[in-house]
Amino acid sequence: MLREQVLDKTLNFLEQRGLATLSLETVAERVDVPLNELRRFWPDAEALLYDSLRYHGEQIDIWRRQLMLDESLSAPQKLLARYKVLDEQVRQQRYPGCLFIAACTFFPDSDMPIHQLAQQQKLASYDYTLSLLQEMGSDDAEMVAQQMELILEGCLSRLLVKRQLNDVEVARRLAEDVLNVARCREHGALS
C-alpha cells in the first residue's frame, strides 16, 4: 500500500461523495487494502481526512510555487490559471479546493485541526493572489485580492452543490473583469 495512492483515492471519494460519508471501512474497500492495515496509519476517519486534506494542500502549494516560477506567464495569467486547472479537473469529475470549503462547514469550530488546515489553505490562496496583484502594482491590492478570493470560493461552493462546469467559466470571466477594473483604476481610467 502506498500512502499517496490511498490519499488520492480518498480525495477522489470525498470529492464525489462528501465528507459525511467517509469511513475507514469504505476506504479500505475502495483501495482494496485490509482495514487493519489502514488503521496502522490512520486510527480513525478523521485522521485519514486530516492527512488527505494536508496531502491535497501540499499538491496545491506545489502547483502554486511552480506557477509563480513560470516566467512565460504574466501575473494576470498566473491569477487566472487556477480556473484553467479547475476546468480540467472538473471535466474529470475532480473538484480540487472544494474539500477545504466543505471542511470549514463540516468542522465549524476554529480550534479543530481540520478547520485550521482548511483555513491555512484559504490563507495560502489569498497570499498567492495578493503577491501577484502587488507584483502587478495593483491599486488597493488587498481589496482586489479579497474580491478575487470571494469569486474563487463562490465557484468552489457552487461546485460542491451543482457540479456544473459552466460555473468555472463564469467565475473565470468575473475574476478577469475584476482584474480589468483594477487595472483601469490603477491607470486612472475610472477617476
Tell me what pLDDT residue 188 has: 64
Q: Which helix (H) or strand (E) holds 37?
A: helix 35-41
Contacts of 24 by beta carbon, 8 Å cutoff, 6+ apart: 35, 38, 39, 42, 44, 45, 48
Whether 129 and 79 have beta carbons less than 8 Å apart is answered as yes
The pLDDT of residue 96 is: 85
List the chain residues with pLDDT less than 70.
1, 187-191
Residue-range domains of the chain with CATH: 2-187 (1.10.357.10)
Global pTM reads 0.91
- Tens-place pLDDT, residues 80-103: 999 999 999 999 999 988 999 999
